[in-house]
Amino acid sequence: MRRTAPAQWRSFTAVVGLALTLVAIGLAIFGGSLAPFDPFATRFPALQPPSAAHWLGTDDLGRDTFSGVLAGARASLLVGIATAAVAGVLGTAVGAIAGYFGGLVDDALMRLTELVQIVPRFFLAILVAALFGPSLVFLTLLLALTFWPTTARLVRSQILTLRQREWVLAARAVGLGEIRILVRHVVPHALGLIIVTAALQIGAAILVEASLSFLGLGDRSVISWGYMLNGAQPFLRVAWWLSVFPGLALVLTVLGTNLLADALSAVWDPARRRAVLVA
């Protein structure tokens, strides 16, 4: 018997995830042009509620909250996407080499992966921010250097199932080198897994950046959603909009990337597709 409701629900969540992600990316790219004011400008009345003049109100320094939310999209998405990209490249390289060649190479790379994986990422980020100062560049590099083990372990497990396939043996039989087989024939078959993992890591990196900024350890020269939430803490009772709108933007963006990752996982995982369609 064919099930229709689960498939329809999965399609709905996929559309919602894609829409939320595209909106967030669009705001990050075009937010500077869409913002009605300079997000750092302090020339307006402080703590004004949402109105026609200021759609999302103003903060305690007289800055336009709507302009700040648009500027925060750029900073948050930049950290998330850059972290996922760098971690994806590093994790794919380590996992592919370990899984394909095996033996001592696999043992050495997996021990390195486990060593990095047990490092407490959030507290390490706090330590780096305290020692070297808050910087989006340092934070992005730190997150990328701690996110890649997840990608490496997943890619390795995928490569282990691919390296003995018939087409790999056929490529060896015609004289292709191992590196060429790995890069041009094996790794592309793991691309779906890599993209799904990267989509999940975008949301995770955004949350870490927001958490650090909320604690006052973010880059104070750049407006992010965590930075805005940090400034909203003393005014929760008198200016609800200062925390609601940046927090809503943060929640919807992370929700969108996670829903998109789940939809992509279903697309690239035949077992999950069969579970949805077949009773």
pLDDT tens, residue by residue, 45-70: 999 999 998 999 999 899 999 999 99
pLDDT of residue 258: 92
Percent of the chain whose predicted confidence (pLDDT) is above 90:
49
In one-letter notation, the amino acid at residue 274 is: R
SS3 100: helix
pTM (two decimals): 0.85
Q: Which two tokens stand for residue 152?
A: 């490496």
pLDDT of residue 6: 57
Q: Which two tokens stand for residue 141?
A: 């590099």
CA distance 79 to 153: 23
Q: Which domains does the chain have, with CATH numbers?
A: 5-33+57-277 (1.10.3720.10)
DSSP readout, 141-177? HHHHHHHHHHHHHHHHHHHHHHTTSHHHHHHHHTT--
Handedness of CA 227, 230, 234, 240 (dihedral sign): positive
Q: Which residue in 122, 123, 120, 116 sits closest to 145, CA to CA? A: 116
Helix axes 136-162, 121-132, angle to 10 degrees: 150
Q: Which residue in 140, 143, 107 sits closest to 222, CA to CA? A: 140
Q: In the chain, what is the straight-line distance between the N-terminal and C-terminal CA atoms, in Å? A: 6
Q: Which two tokens stand for residue 60?
A: 């305690």
- Point out the least confidently predicted range of 171-175, 197-201, 226-230: 171-175
Long-range CB contacts for residues 21-25, cutoff 8 Å, separation at least 24: 21/253, 21/256, 21/257, 21/260, 23/256, 24/73, 24/77, 24/249, 24/252, 24/253, 24/256, 25/77
Mean pLDDT of the chain: 86
pLDDT of residue 1: 40
SS3 64: strand
CA distance 206 to 147: 12
SS3 58: strand
Whether residue 276 is predicted with pLDDT greater than 70 in this model: the reply is no
Q: What is the pLDDT of residues 128-152, one digit of tens each?
A: 777 777 788 888 888 898 899 999 9
Which residues, listed in sequence order, are joined to residue 58 by a DSSP beta bridge? 64
pLDDT of residue 176: 84
